[in-house]
Structure 1
Amino acid sequence: MKKIAVIFIINLLFCFASFAQVENSAKTIKKIKTYLTELEKVGFSGSVLVEINGKVAISKGYGFSDKANLIKNKPSTVLCIGSITKQFTATAILKLEMQGKLSTDDKITKYFDNVPIDKSNITIHDLLRHQSGLPSNVGKDYDKISQAEFLDKVMNSKLLFEVGKEFSYSNIGYSLLGMIIEKTSGKTYETYLYDNLWKPAQMEMTGYSRPMFDKSKIAIGYYKDDKIWGKPTDKEWDKTAPYWHLKANGGVLSTTEDMYKWHKALKGENILSKDAKNKLYHPKIRTEENYNEPIYGYGWDVAPTNRNTKRYWHNGSNNIFFADFMIYIDEDVTLIMLSNKSHQTNFDKLNFELSKMIFEKNYKPIIPIADNETNQKYSQNMIEIILSKGIEVGKEIHKKRPANTNILEYILNAKGYDFLSQKNYDKAIDLFIMNIFAFPKSANGFDSLGEAYMNKGDKTLAIKNYEKSLELNPNNGNAKEMLLELRR
């Protein structure tokens, strides 16, 4: 009886703690709305949906889907979801397994001819978990290629490691899964997904071309300087879908509204059974892995939080469009962001920032520096000053900079790594020091500086900076790994 009472109290406290994280939702929603408005001012363009306590709190577009015609992004705007496509492919495989048409334990030799010996032990499970050893790509997204040519390139590629032994993200592995879906179902990839996933989820604005999209609703992709990249449907496709370099591993078009419908459908059992969903998020893992640490499931990154809850997450990008889908399944919080403008690293952590705003009571989000021509020129000028006149002169000039002008961290970081690759450690260190002078709370800045000192052979300063990076970002796995190595 005492044991039952203790368990009940613990569960009660846990539920209360989880609720307390998001109970001031009205205040949190207001903060998030203000934050997103500020992001729009510094260049964010796309659509965002935020679910808090199981209810949609924000669903809004920002920036333009067509700047020349002043057409704003909306929750109904169609954007590219990139590698989030993989969770559709993974779910379709599990659906076929439920229908008795395949097993995730099947070897690819069952579905493809002329598989070489080194790849003959690859299973569907290995492809789903990126542990096949296959490289990431054998061509560019929109390169024209036949299925036979694609398979020939894949089968003749060199494995990165022995099948099933390690993790290496492989787009071509998911393209093979797409082919298996077509072979076992007798339907095209897109038709099978619509009939078995999207239609049951009431997703009528998701696919490659099947929805017969109103082209005016498809967002134009922009480079960061606002030059036009174009619409995904303007690129060279194999009639109704991209070629196999992209098909089934990326490139599906959708809206934040439809992706939210997908989230709701996955919570039920209309698409996948309870056992199949458990396999989606918690498949068989390698011996060195642990479910209490981040793992890659089937098309999802699954990680524990510091609140003893689970986070399901995946993103996708072609360096123009960017998509991010994050679910805190135990806490009824979902974050969906789709963007149509290249932004380097300015907004790729948006959902992580929103998470902190939701779960950390006093968290103040960081507004990125505007990646505009003024700041690009200023950053390049600062590099020249530091290299010619020294770091201290650079610091003094930076203190007196004009209003609304700042360094773009990624520009100095990239130049620093150029010098690091040339073993010009002192120049790299100066640029990294300037970055942390400008951004003293940048975990990435201290991580880069730690790496530069480590390569130079200054173990003490390397440890100091990696420790600072880890203090700022306790989830920095690279800093943890480097500190272990340095302390040996």
Structure 2
Amino acid sequence: MKAFSSPLAIARFALALTCASPLIAPVAGARTDPAQQARLEARFDELAEAGFTGFAAIARAGEIIFARGAGFADPATRRPFTLDTQVDVLSITKSFTGMAIASLIDAGRLSPDATLADFFPDVPDDKAAITVQQLLTHTAGLPDAVGDDFSDEGWDSVRDKAFAAELLHAPGSAYRYSNVGFTLLAAIIERVTGRTYEDYLVNDLLVPAGIEHTGYQSVYDNGLAARNSHGEPVIDASWGGHDPNWNLMGNGGLVSTPRDMLAWEHAYRNATIVSPAARDMAHAPLVREGEGAPSFYGYGLVVEDDPLVGRIYWHNGGNRSFNSHWRVLADQGYELFATTNQRAVSADSAIEALVAALMGQDFELRRPLEASIDPVALPETAGGDIAAGFLAMIASDDEAVWRDYVLNRMSDDLRAFAPIEGHLDMMRQLHRDFGNAAIVAVFESENEIRLGLRDPLSGEVIPVVIEYTGDGLVNGLLLG
């Protein structure tokens, strides 16, 4: 049921301070429904009580109908979150890159069939035929990353690493989420336009549409930026204390505001920021996100069809400090954005909860477990054995151990959620981020065990849910 899909596989951290701020009144003339508003307010109260700190906003047909913050954008000064707090949108950057590429294709300046060899004479033979379309849809076979988001690394170094990296599958043969592919797309934008990626995105596409606080260093305002639980603003917590480097360019690290994000969603969907042809090109469901997955990837965004709400477009992103999520319910006319600087209740959970409130659907919010100061033991139960096996697997740095776990400990449904290489990529990330985390909370119910893991770097508690079948196979994994 739940698994680590590519955009959702993100690290986010908990912030203890919570303080719900008042509801921001809908704009004059916005189409609101009193019962719906009551549901949204009640649901947001639940989120804040459970530990959500951040901001969530909803518009319909471009008019804001709900906007509310909880906790503090700056815990030290108790500065609240607002519609104009600048936040890291993380991998949502890919949605902006996809839009920019679609605009260039629509203008006849770029072809989706253009190859890396058309732009980079030094590209090695195994990557020369990779196309723009394959980069856009995560089918190029490139690895997820070739460097550190926090390093001060220029284009030449990142290019050399990307070109030297071993392909994980033949280009075009499978879906595999890759930040590297979108970095190459940013470089292609620069070669086609003769300008920087940020300059073209901001000044040709965003500012003309009235979206003026979205970009990298050119728009960044340290006084408006959200901070993580350690008080670090985006420039430190996401960029490493300097301008964003080429491991981030085009794939992550853009800053924006909730107000800008809602305006961008509306303008993009209604083809006022790019042409209808460019929009339709980018929003097409082109590649399924793994065998049996309910979602497809377009140009830097996810496309789904939900039986209850219809067509959905979305993307999310996260790092060890921040998490953001945009979502458009196209058939219903709603645009949503949520962002957070903590881990206990993620922006993904906030969006899920608020969509249910919008549509009048039942929803049960998973609340963080009460954590112990000292490590706790796993129970001697079936769930305890399942959890012990999972923790032993992510503690290992042996890919053979991860592969064995996927093949022999996961149910057929969960294993089919992604190709084997996608599962291995996730195990690699779990090992790197949480392999040495101590267990500080355990809660067990029928066919499910919930853990609180204390991150070894930050000391924050990461919630983990493991669902399993009667015969002991893992049927669902959820972090956050």
How many angstroms does 1:150 deviate by?
Answer: 0.8
Q: Using the alignment, how far apart are the partners of 1:104 and 1:233 within structure 2?
A: 33
Q: Using the alignment, how far apart are the partners of 1:445 and 1:83 within structure 2?
A: 22
How many angstroms does 1:142 deviate by?
Answer: 1.3
Contact 1:391-1:434 at 8 Å conserved across structures: no
Q: Using the alignment, how far apart are the partners of 1:234 and 1:447 within structure 2?
A: 33
Deviations 1:440-468 (A, max 9, x none): 999x9996423xxxxxxxxx6247x85xx
How many angstroms does 1:283 deviate by?
Answer: 5.7
Aligned to 1:486: none
Q: Using the alignment, how far apart are the partners of 1:71 and 1:412 within structure 2?
A: 44
Deviations 1:214-254 (A, max 9, x none): x22111122xxxx33x1122369699841111111000001
Q: Does 1:377 align with 2:372?
A: yes
How many angstroms does 1:275 deviate by?
Answer: 1.8
How many angstroms does 1:46 deviate by?
Answer: 1.0
Deviations 1:361-386 (A, max 9, x none): 4x14315226xxxx2217943x25x2
Aligned to 1:418: 391
Structure-1-length-normalised TM-score? 0.72
CA RMSD of superposed structures (Å): 3.7
Contact 2:56-2:258 at 8 Å conserved across structures: yes
Picking from 137, 146, 149, the partner of 2:145 is 137
Deviations 1:324-371 (A, max 9, x none): 01111111122200112233x65532211222222244x14315226x
Q: Using the alignment, how far apart are the partners of 1:239 and 1:346 within structure 2?
A: 25
Q: Does 1:461 align with 2:460?
A: no
Q: Using the alignment, how far apart are the partners of 1:35 and 1:288 within structure 2?
A: 32
Residue-pair matches, total: 397
In 2 relative to 1, CA 100–53 (structure 1 residues): closer, same or farther, beyond 3 Å? closer
Q: Percent identical across equivalent pairs?
A: 28
Deviations 1:380-406 (A, max 9, x none): 43x25x2xxx449xxxxxxxxxxxxxx
Aligned to 1:268: 270
Q: Using the alignment, how far apart are the partners of 1:240 and 1:441 within structure 2?
A: 38
Q: Does 1:122 align with 2:130?
A: yes
Q: Using the alignment, how far apart are the partners of 1:238 and 1:275 within structure 2?
A: 38
- Aligned letter for 2:391? D
Deviations 1:36-93 (A, max 9, x none): 2232233211111023576422112211011111111111110100000111111111
Contact 1:133-1:162 at 8 Å conserved across structures: yes
Where does the alignment leave 5 or more consecutive residues of structure 2 unmatched? Answer: 1-30, 411-438, 452-462
How many angstroms does 1:415 deviate by?
Answer: 5.0
Q: Using the alignment, how far apart are the partners of 1:141 and 1:187 within structure 2?
A: 22
Picking from 278, 281, 285, the partner of 2:280 is 278
In 2 relative to 1, CA 80–39 (structure 1 residues): closer, same or farther, beyond 3 Å? same
Describe how 1:198-277 pairs up with structure 2 within 5 A: 198-211=206-219, 213=221, 215-222=222-229, 227-228=230-231, 230-234=232-236, 241-277=243-279
In proportion to residue count, which structure has more strand?
2
Q: Using the alignment, how far apart are the partners of 2:315 and 2:288 within structure 1?
A: 21
In 2 relative to 1, CA 40–413 (structure 1 residues): closer, same or farther, beyond 3 Å? farther
How many angstroms does 1:112 deviate by?
Answer: 0.9
Contact 1:412-1:435 at 8 Å conserved across structures: no
Q: Using the alignment, how far apart are the partners of 1:441 and 1:418 within structure 2?
A: 12
The structure whose RCO (Cα within 8 Å, separation 6+) is larger is: 2
Q: Using the alignment, how far apart are the partners of 1:437 and 1:299 within structure 2?
A: 38
Q: Using the alignment, how far apart are the partners of 2:177 and 2:357 within structure 1?
A: 30
Contact 2:88-2:238 at 8 Å conserved across structures: no
Describe how 1:64-463 pairs up with structure 2 within 5 A: 64-211=72-219, 213=221, 215-222=222-229, 227-228=230-231, 230-234=232-236, 241-282=243-284, 284-285=286-287, 293-307=294-308, 309-343=310-344, 347-361=347-361, 363-366=362-365, 368-369=367-368, 375-377=370-372, 380-381=375-376, 383=377, 386=379, 390-391=380-381, 416-419=389-392, 435-437=444-446, 448-450=467-469, 461-462=471-472
SS of equivalent to 2:68: strand
Contact 1:35-1:365 at 8 Å conserved across structures: no
In 2 relative to 1, CA 54–32 (structure 1 residues): closer, same or farther, beyond 3 Å? same
SS of equivalent to 2:281: helix
In proportion to residue count, which structure has more helix?
1
- Aligned letter for 2:367? P
In 2 relative to 1, CA 277–438 (structure 1 residues): closer, same or farther, beyond 3 Å? same
In 2 relative to 1, CA 379–439 (structure 1 residues): closer, same or farther, beyond 3 Å? farther
In 2 relative to 1, CA 41–204 (structure 1 residues): closer, same or farther, beyond 3 Å? same
How many angstroms does 1:300 deviate by?
Answer: 0.7
Q: Using the alignment, how far apart are the partners of 2:187 and 2:297 within structure 1?
A: 22
Q: Based on CA coordinates, which of the two structures has the bigger radius of gyration?
A: 1
Q: Using the alignment, how far apart are the partners of 1:329 and 1:233 within structure 2?
A: 33
Q: Using the alignment, how far apart are the partners of 2:89 and 2:306 within structure 1?
A: 25
SS of equivalent to 2:56: strand
Q: Using the alignment, how far apart are the partners of 1:57 and 1:237 within structure 2?
A: 33
SS of equivalent to 1:39: helix
SS of equivalent to 1:348: helix
Contact 2:288-2:297 at 8 Å conserved across structures: no
Where does the alignment leave 5 or more consecutive residues of structure 1 unmatched? Answer: 1-22, 393-408, 451-459, 470-475, 478-488
In 2 relative to 1, CA 42–438 (structure 1 residues): closer, same or farther, beyond 3 Å? farther
SS of equivalent to 1:38: helix
Q: Using the alignment, how far apart are the partners of 1:36 and 1:412 within structure 2?
A: 36
Q: Using the alignment, how far apart are the partners of 2:386 and 2:59 within structure 1?
A: 35
SS of equivalent to 1:336: strand
